């Protein structure tokens, strides 16, 4: 346990010293600035009174518009967090095995399991900070400008964060056996599969095409990352767009609680695989 | 009876079809400085990796300090400097030693003073707060050596410890190995530099195709083994083959004859034999064999390929 913590600290420090944190921070702030400025102008445009529309309808439309833009921002944040998770996990074990750095680590009186768990923990902490900055920043920016915030923020943000650590864990699992580049390829491939599967399910559900919905569910079973985003979007959508089921970020086919449980199990299994592969391999 | 520092029994490693280590049977005593010699690709590094639990043996058994390989508490008493060392270059020298000391399970206070002591010993005190990325290869080798000695190991593996070092650095490593021997630490040294091995090791093993083909006490090198050069006339093939009972590697070229003999006391007998065979002996010069000559003799000129 103590060794896990030592290695988590090392992983965290590595990210700081190798400017991963700094670049993430700078680009994150850039993202937030662009989002905020863009949002500011769209919001100004949206809040212009329109004499042909009743005031009550205008108010509802404005609230929907704000929520839509917030979710659009969070969708981009989700993608960035996933990419961050994939990249952090991809080269860590593979890279250290390749360079030989790992040799003086695993010949210490620690378990190889501690090495994997320590790295996982370090990355999970980093991603938590990243999520907090990006998702929190997006929501805060909207809140300051409009006084609006989406419902169920905590569960929504937790789901987005969970998606990023799920992808990071999958990346870590592949990285324990494959090269960093191959891992990156596989993980982004899987993410793409989940992405397209999610949209097929969504559109299938809108058209009430059960086969398309099943294709989407199968894709979510192969990799449940996108279903986590859709659940997050569902949690954070306004009651109205939920009822209408029309928003591209709202969701007509809601991933069930069972899918959430499945995702948790998926993560645990991926982590166990990472540990097991790393424990068995020659270094 | 004290337990051996290293004991291996038929250790074997296959990578796919290829046997990297065929059958390694070896015993290294505690407190001994042991040289592990062999041509490139003989399986030296793979053997070390198996002993340290980095590589899983295909078959065979081994123990370190009396415990089976992979026994974690034992690794707290073992140090290791890998051959192709790459370290966490974003750490400063002191942070690097702290990290590795923590992984050894050392107490903070002890670790702090030990790290300072070793930084001093390997001549890096002035660079303690510099990141390793700014270090030269030789400096990295020094900090790597300090890392291997942090836990005051009972057994330390040094895989090519002098490969990146200039003569001053090599001298430092040699001195440190002497100090380790004084302190009763067992050093397992893998090096290509036979002259280094010759001055530092008590005993060496020659390994070829992953098997120990010979072990040798270096202290015995002086008396026991020598190359004899004889200048004589009237040598015939029959006479030469008669010499085989005293030595090997017999080579004759005109009046010049060389052979290796096991004992110095064989020399008068060889002389007597040659004279009774009617050979005129002009000179007989025993030379002490260098480790390099023994290496070539043992491994072969082809380098065991």
Q: Of B76, B86, B90, which has the smallest distance from its Cβ to A17's Cβ? A: B90
Read off the pLDDT band of B78 (50, 70, 90): very high
Q: Which top CATH class is B226-288? A: alpha beta
Which of A70-74, B96-100, B212-216 bottoms out in mean pLDDT, i.e. has the lowest?
Answer: B212-216
Smallest CA-to-CA distance from B148 within B162, B138, B135, B158 is with B158
* Phi and psi torsions of B173, nearest 5°: -60, -40
Structural domain boundaries, residue A56: 2-280
> Across all residues in chain B, what is the average pLDDT?
87
**Domain spans of chain B?**
6-220, 226-288
Does the beta-carbon distance from A107 to B100 stay under 8 Å? no
Distance CA A6, CA A1 (A): 9
Q: Is the model's pLDDT at B153 over the cut of 90?
A: yes
Confidence of residue B169 (pLDDT cuts 50, 70, 90): confident
- Nearest chain B alpha carbon to A17: B90
Decide: residue A26, CB within 10 A, 0-12 exposed, 13-18 middle, 19+ buried.
exposed
Determine contact: B153 vs chain A, CB below 8 A.
Answer: no
Nearest-neighbour CA in chain A from B68: distance (Å): 14
Q: Is B31 left (phi over 0), alpha (psi -120 to 50) or beta?
A: left
CA B62 – CA B41 distance, rounded (Å): 21
Facing residue for B104 by CB, picked from A14, A99, A108: A108
Rounded average pLDDT over B21-50: 90
What would the mean pLDDT of B152-156 be, rounded to a whole number?
95
3-state secondary structure (DSSP) of residue B12: strand
Which residues on adjacent β-strands are paired with residue B257? B230, B252
- Across the interface, of B54, B73, B104, the residue whose CB is closest to A106 is B54
Residue A203, Cα to own-chain centre: how many angstroms? 22
What ipTM did this prediction achieve? 0.84
Q: Identify all chain A residues contacting B80, using CB atoms and an 8 Å cutoff.
A: 103-104, 107
A19 close to B (CB below 8 A) = no
Task: Give me the helix-helix angle, A112-146 and A20-46, nearest 10°.
Answer: 30
Q: For residue A162, what are its two tokens?
A: 């969970």
| C-alpha–C-alpha distance, residues A179 and A229, integer Å | 28
Q: CA of B9, closest CA in chain A: separation in Å?
A: 20
Q: Is B150 on the interface with A (CB under 8 A)?
A: no
The closest CB to that of A107, out of B80, B91, B105, belongs to B80
Q: What is the pTM of this model?
A: 0.85
Q: Can you name the residues that pair with B226 across neighbouring β-strands?
A: B261, B288
The DSSP result for A137-198, as a single string, is HHHHHHHHHHS---SSHHHHHHHHHHHHHHHHHHHHHHHTTS-HHHHHHHHHHHHHHHHHHH
The yes-or-no verdict on residue B224 having pLDDT over 70 is no
A8 vs B222 pLDDT, higher one:
A8
Domains: count for chain A:
1
Contact A109 B75 (CB under 8 A): yes
Helix (H) or strand (E) holding B177: helix B167-182
Asked whether the predicted pLDDT for residue B293 surpasses 80, the reply is no
Of B54, B85, B87, the CB nearest to A282: B54
* Sheet architecture: strand order including B211-217: B67-68, B59-64, B6-15, B18-28, B211-217, B203-208, B33-37, B186-190, B155-159, B78-81
Cα gap A230→A228, rounded to integer Å = 5
CB-nearest to B87 from A104, A110, A283 is: A104
Return the bridge partners of B205, or none: B36, B215
Weakly modelled stretches of chain A, pLDDT under 50: none
What pLDDT score does B143 carry? 93
Put simply, whether B12 touches A (Cβ < 8 Å) is no
Would you give the DSSP letter of residue B251?
E
* Cα B176 to Cα B118: distance, rounded to the nearest angstrom: 11
The pLDDT value recorded for residue A250 is: 55
Task: Kindly report, residue by residue over A241-256, the tens digit of the pLDDT.
Answer: 766 665 556 556 788 8
Q: Which is more confident, A97 or B296?
A: A97
Q: CB contact, 8 Å: A13 with chain B?
A: yes
- pLDDT over 60 (residue B9): yes
b/e burial code for range A177-198 (CB count within 10 A of at least 16 → b): bbbbeebbebbbebbebbbebb
Cβ–Cβ contact B161 with A under 8 A: no
What topology does CATH give the domain B6-220? Answer: Rossmann fold (3.40.50)
In chain A, what residues touch B147 (CB-CB under 8 Å)?
A: 104
Would you say residue B64 has pLDDT above 80?
Answer: yes
pLDDT (0 to 100) of residue A244: 65
User: Distance from A15 to chain B by nearest Cα, in Å?
Assistant: 9
pLDDT in the model for residue A49: 79
Residue among B72, B103, B140, B148 with most chain A CBs within 10 A, to mutate: B103
Query: Over the stretch A74-133, which tens digit does the pLDDT of each residue have?
Result: 999 999 999 999 988 888 888 889 888 999 999 999 999 999 999 999 999 999 999 999
Residue B2 has pLDDT above 80, yes or no: no
For residues A156 and A150, the answer to whether their CB atoms sit within 8 Å is yes
Of A214, A223, A226, A218, nearest to A186 by C-alpha is A223
């Amino acid at each position: 346990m103590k060794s896990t913590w030592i290695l988590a600290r090392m992983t965290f420090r590595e990210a700081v010293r190798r400017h991963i944190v700094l670049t993430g921070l700078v680009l994150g702030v850039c993202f937030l600035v662009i989002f905020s400025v863009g949002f500011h102008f769209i919001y100004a445009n949206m809040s212009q009174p329109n004499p042909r529309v009743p005031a009550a309808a205008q108010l509802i439309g404005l609230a929907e518009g704000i929520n839509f833009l917030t979710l659009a921002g969070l969708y981009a944040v989700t993608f960035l967090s996933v990419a961050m998770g994939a990249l952090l996990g991809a080269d860590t074990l593979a890279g250290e095995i390749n360079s030989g750095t790992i040799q003086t680590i695993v010949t210490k009186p620690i378990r190889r399991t501690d090495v994997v768990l320590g790295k996982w923990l370090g990355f999970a902490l980093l991603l938590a900070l990243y999520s907090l900055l990006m998702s929190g920043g997006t929501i805060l920016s909207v809140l300051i400008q409009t006084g609006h915030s989406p419902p169920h923020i905590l569960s929504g943000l937790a789901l987005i964060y969970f998606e990023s650590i799920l992808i990071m864990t999958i990346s870590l699992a592949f990285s324990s056996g494959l090269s960093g580049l191959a891992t990156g390829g596989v993980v982004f491939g899987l993410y793409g599969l989940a992405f397209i599967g999610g949209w097929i399910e969504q559109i299938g559900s809108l058209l009430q095409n059960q086969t398309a919905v099943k294709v989407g569910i199968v894709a979510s079973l192969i990799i449940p990352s996108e279903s986590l985003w859709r659940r997050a979007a569902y949690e954070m959508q306004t009651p109205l767009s939920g009822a209408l089921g029309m928003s591209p970020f709202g969701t007509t086919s809601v991933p069930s609680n069972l899918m959430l449980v499945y995702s948790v199990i998926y993560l645990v299994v991926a982590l166990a695989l990472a540990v097991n592969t790393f424990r068995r391999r020659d270094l | 009876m004290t337990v051996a520092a290293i004991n291996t029994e038929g250790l074997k490693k296959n990578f796919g079809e290829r046997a990297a280590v065929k059958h390694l049977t070896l015993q290294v005593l505690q407190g001994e400085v042991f040289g592990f010699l062999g041509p490139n690709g003989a399986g030296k590094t793979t053997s070390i990796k198996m002993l340290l639990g980095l590589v899983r043996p295909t078959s065979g058994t081994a123990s370190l300090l009396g415990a089976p390989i992979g026994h974690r508490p034992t690794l707290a008493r073992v140090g290791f400097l890998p051959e192709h060392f790459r370290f966490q270059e974003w750490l400063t020298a002191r942070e690097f030693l702290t990290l590795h000391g923590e992984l050894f399970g050392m107490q903070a206070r002890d670790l702090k003073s030990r790290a300072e002591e070793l930084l001093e010993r390997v001549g890096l005190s002035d660079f303690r707060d510099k990141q390793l990325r700014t270090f030269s290869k030789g400096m990295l080798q020094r900090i790597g050596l300090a890392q291997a000695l942090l836990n005051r190991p009972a057994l330390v593996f040094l895989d090519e410890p002098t490969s990146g070092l200039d003569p001053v650095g090599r001298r430092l490593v040699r001195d440190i190995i002497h100090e380790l021997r004084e302190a009763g630490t067992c050093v397992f040294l893998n090096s290509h530099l036979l002259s280094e091995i010759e001055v530092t090791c008590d005993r060496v093993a020659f390994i070829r195709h992953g098997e120990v083909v010979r072990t040798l006490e270096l202290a015995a090198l002086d008396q026991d083994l020598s190359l004899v050069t004889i200048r004589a006339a009237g040598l015939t093939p029959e006479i030469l083959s008669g010499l085989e009972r005293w030595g090997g590697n017999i080579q004759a070229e005109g009046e010049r004859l060389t052979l290796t003999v096991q004992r110095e006391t064989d020399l008068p007998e060889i002389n007597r034999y040659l004279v009774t065979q009617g050979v005129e002996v002009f000179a007989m010069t025993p030379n002490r064999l260098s480790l390099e000559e023994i290496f070539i003799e043992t491994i072969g000129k082809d380098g065991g390929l």
